[in-house]
Amino acid sequence: MKISIKRIIQALSLLAVSLQAATAYAQETSAQQDTYKFDLGGGLGMSGYLGDANESNMYKHPGFAGNISFRYLANTRWTIRGILSVMTLSGNTADWDNVLPGNQNYSFKSTVFDLGGRFEFNFFPYGIGETYKKLRRCTPYLSLGIGVTMASCDGSSFFAPNIPMAFGVKYKLSKRLNLGAEFCMTKVFGDKVDGDKLTDLYTIKSSFMKNTDWYSTLMVSLTYEFGKRCETCHYVE
């Protein structure tokens, strides 16, 4: 039986196409197997303060900031994040051009703990693999949430609710490791983050919305993903 060269070339071409399709499917399946549901990590950076003892330059007296966080990765765009932060804040009214009543000057140093939950929205689908989803290895994101602030200053403690608002960038170092940078502004619904002495410098009574303090963090973080998603059916929502 004669076998033509044309038929051999056709068979080899068909085999090559089949192998290419099988390889692509294996890579896609592997990427799905390496998709995870959770993210755990921490960050370090600096903190800043706006309030009665600092009305303009937020980082005039920068402090230390650190956090630990846990994320539920709902999908490639949305995550739910729980975060515990600790930071030091300070300020001094002697830095102002303003003159306070009685020509007084005030300064403070406080330690602040912040516990809260946030929703994060990625500008682009975030991840590695699954090319049909057009995943991006790097994405900016926005975050909004609610939390509680506990501040300790001059031997007294203060608790108040807060709203954190953040902008950041994530980058996948590998399938499990993520590098992030984030700037967060937090509005505190209270006026004693900077202590009891700085609640009424202009004789304007504080309230839930008025004369409240703000603080910010500028952080770099490293997180690790775990908890494989849907190992049996290899399907990712």
Q: What is the pLDDT of residues 166-193, one digit of tens each?
A: 999 999 999 999 999 999 999 999 878 8
Output the average pLDDT for the chain.
81
Q: Which residue has the higher pLDDT, 185 or 130?
A: 185
Q: Which pTM was predicted?
A: 0.76
Work out the end-to-end distance of the chain between its first and last CA atoms, rounded to an integer number of angstroms.
Answer: 53
Which phi and psi (to 5°) does residue 205 adopt? Answer: -65, 135
Cβ 107 vs Cβ 141: under 8 Å: no
| Tokens read off for 133 | 């989803």
Residue 93 vs residues 2, 68, 98, 188, 205: alpha-carbon distances, Å: 98, 32, 8, 20, 19
Q: What is the dihedral of CA 226, 227, 232, 233, to 10 degrees?
A: -80
Average pLDDT estimate for 210-222? 86
> Does 151 score more than 50 pLDDT?
yes
Element (H, E) at 25: helix 5-33
How far apart (Å, rounded) are the C-alpha atoms in residues 69 and 147? Answer: 13
- For residue 51, give the nearest of 168, 155, 156, 153 by alpha carbon: 153
